[in-house]
Chain A
């Protein structure tokens, strides 16, 4: 079977998604703080991301 977008159409790939948009958004914010050296803020944000999934 041919897919034009495997990540939207392939049943195995769609059913095994381990992320949600909310989680990705929160994690990106946390990573940004982590990379810029805001360790306390990064830790706080990363702790919150644990509960997303």
Chain B
């Protein structure tokens, strides 16, 4: 059984794009200003641009497109890295082995789903004076959330599943009218009997519309817009698995995935220093799991970790607390 503790939706904002635009303007200004200084200066400014007024900071000259591609690649890579860390985490492993949890949920496993989309968004603060969080509002965020909902309900083995390889694709041709999404090809084939199919499949599955999103059995989905801004090399590692029209939209969008096989990951638990430490603290607190023997340096590391946490907490609350006291 797989239980998703927390899922993650990400929407790459166009904020970085604006920053690149700013850098581009700086480049234009610098080049225009220093163009009369001779060919050597002009060549240098072509290689480096966006220098701060004091000249201390320089950004390497890459065009806007390359910067966007780099950020997109890193976003996708971070999702894959998170999946690996979920597999490697000794702390999560200790959770999964807790007797009380195993008794209640056999084969407990933490899974996360990822939806990647790119577009504009409005950033705003929510929360209280004690804890302020950033929130992002946009149809693009909603799109990323829809993608995330799909892989959230997944069986443990999600990579290159039968759906992605073929079988469920054809099951989906029967399910299409039940789903929140319909493929362009299917829309040509299924023009009648929608209500009948919906009621039939709902009765078969006993789950309703939401559970039908299991069809894309992959932990990571991204839209075509996102795939388009990847570097060509990275995009070649991805594959399109469908073209859908999301509920509430009339524009079909391609869905891509990147195949990850975390089972291939070789985990050396002795290497997980801080993670082992947190597991050690946790098991002692709960007093329900066999204690993990900490390495010899554990006490020092524990102090460092605690100090860091306290420092972060204090610094984040100080301005708000001071303002309240005033």
Residues of A within 8 A of B (CB): 5-7, 10, 12-13, 15-19, 23-24, 27-28, 30-31, 34-37, 39, 42-43, 46-47, 49-50, 52-53
Residues of B within 8 A of A28 (CB): 239-240
The verdict on B225 contacting chain A, using a C-beta distance below 8 Å, is no
A50–B237 contact, CB under 8 A? no
Q: A13-B80, A18-B264, A43-B166 are in contact. List 5 more A-B contacts (CB 8 A).
A: A6-B81, A15-B266, A24-B239, A31-B240, A50-B165
B197 within 8 A of A: no
A12 touches B85 (CB 8 A): yes
User: Interface extent on B, as a size class?
Assistant: 35 or more
Near A by CB (< 8 A), chain B positions 177-219 give: 184-185, 188-189
The answer to whether residues A17 and B188 also contact, given A24-B239, A34-B169, A43-B170 and a CB cut-off of 8 A, is no
Residues in chain A near residue B4, CB distance under 8 A: none
Residue B312 interfacial (CB < 8 Å): no
Q: Are A18 and B166 in contact (CB under 8 A)?
A: no
Instruction: Return chain A residues, CB-CB under 8 Å to B80.
Output: 12-13, 16
Interface string of B253-272 (1 = CB under 8 A from A): 00000111110111000000
Please measure, in the bound complex, the distance between the C-alpha atom of A4 and the C-alpha atom of B104, giving whole angstroms: 45
Q: For the complex, would chain A's binding face be called helix, strand, loop or mixed by DSSP majority?
A: helix
**With contact pairs A35-B185, A46-B166 given, residues A18 and B160 touching in the complex (Cβ less than 8 Å):** yes
In the complex, the answer to whether A30 meets B166 with C-beta atoms within 8 Å is: yes
CB distance from A31 to the nearest CB of B (A): 6
Shortest Cβ gap from B183 to chain A (Å): 8
With a cutoff of 8 Å between Cβ atoms, the chain A residues found around residue B96 in the complex are none
Let me know if B162 is at the binding interface, CB within 8 A.
yes
Given A6-B73, A18-B160, A49:B165 Cβ within 8 A: yes
- Residues on A with C-beta less than 8 A from B259 are 17-19, 53
Partner of B243, one of A13, A30, A35, A46: A35
B102 proximal to A (CB < 8 A): no
